[in-house]
Amino acid sequence: MVRALYILLCFLMVGTVSAQTRQYAVSFVPCYGDNILTAGDTYAAAGIDTVQVTTLRFYISGIELMRQETSVWKEANSYHLLDMEEPSSMHLALNIPNGLAFDAIKLRLGIDSITNVSGAMGGELDPTKGMYWSWQSGYINFKLEGTSPACATRKHEFQFHLGGYAGAQNSMQTVVLKVNDKDGVAISLDIKKFLSGIDLHTTNSIMIPGPNAVALSRKVVGSFSIGP
């Protein structure tokens, strides 16, 4: 009898907690200009060049909801690896309090320095995910690979592996976007905008932390916007 009452109480508690929260959907939509980005498809680039993207992976962490520039909610253990080739990874569900009012979402592109110096971890941060260099260099925050006739490289490949966490090499960036507090938001990542201004003839491989990785990480941030 006591055990049955305990189980009933547990169910009631779960129901109460559930009733106090709701899900807020955050979807990331990779695109190339007005087109949804698809691995292997060919897109027009500057001049007569074309671009094919084969790999797009990046870390989103430290998600917060803001109201009037003040944080009103933070996601615990907030680390997400998004992979264009795994569409389900591009959709996040935040469990937030019912009635929470907010007008912006704040997130980080990349992994913070404390996590980097803690060493490789499991889950989304597992080194087998292919987004970890070493304990000296840490995590790769953003990885974009593909091909373009503009690249004077083997098989015309370009590779942008952006990371670094120490001092002036810290490439983690903060993104703040205006949203509403309804059911969810779609955040576009425009690879055409990222590649604009990059001369693939001369800049086609960034594989280590440094000033170039920091500069290109800032370009990634400028490529996020609300809407498809």
The residue assigned the tokens 């009733």 is 19
Cα–Cα distance, 5 to 154 (Å, whole number):
69
Work out the average pLDDT over 153-164.
Answer: 95
Residue 2 has pLDDT above 60, yes or no: no
- Amino acid identity of residue 34, one-letter, is D
Over the stretch 199-228, which tens digit does the pLDDT of each residue have?
A: 999 999 999 999 999 999 999 999 999 975
- Amino acid identity of residue 22, one-letter, is R
Residue 9 has pLDDT above 60, yes or no: no
- Amino acid identity of residue 154, one-letter, is R
Between 122 and 191, the higher pLDDT residue? 191
**Average model confidence (pLDDT) across the chain:** 90
Residues in CB range of 155: below 8 A, 6 or more apart = 147
Cα–Cα distance, 104 to 93 (Å, whole number):
16
Q: If pLDDT is split at 50, 70 and 90, which confidence band does 136 have?
A: confident
DSSP 90: G
Q: If pLDDT is split at 50, 70 and 90, which confidence band does 80 have?
A: very high
Q: Which of 25, 147, 18 is nearest to 94 (CA)?
A: 25
Cα–Cα distance, 53 to 151 (Å, whole number):
13
Predicted pLDDT of residue 227: 73
Could you write out the DSSP letters of every residue in 113-179? HHHHHT---SGGG-GGGS-EEETTTEEEEEEEEEE-TT--SGGGEEEEEEE--SGGG---EEEEEE-
Which of 3-7, 60-64, 95-99, 184-188 is the least confident region?
3-7
Residues in CB range of 181: below 8 A, 6 or more apart = 24, 100, 101, 102, 103
Predicted pLDDT of residue 99: 92
- pTM for the whole thing? 0.89
For 8, other C-beta atoms within 10 Å of its C-beta total 10
Domain locations in the chain as residue ranges:
23-226
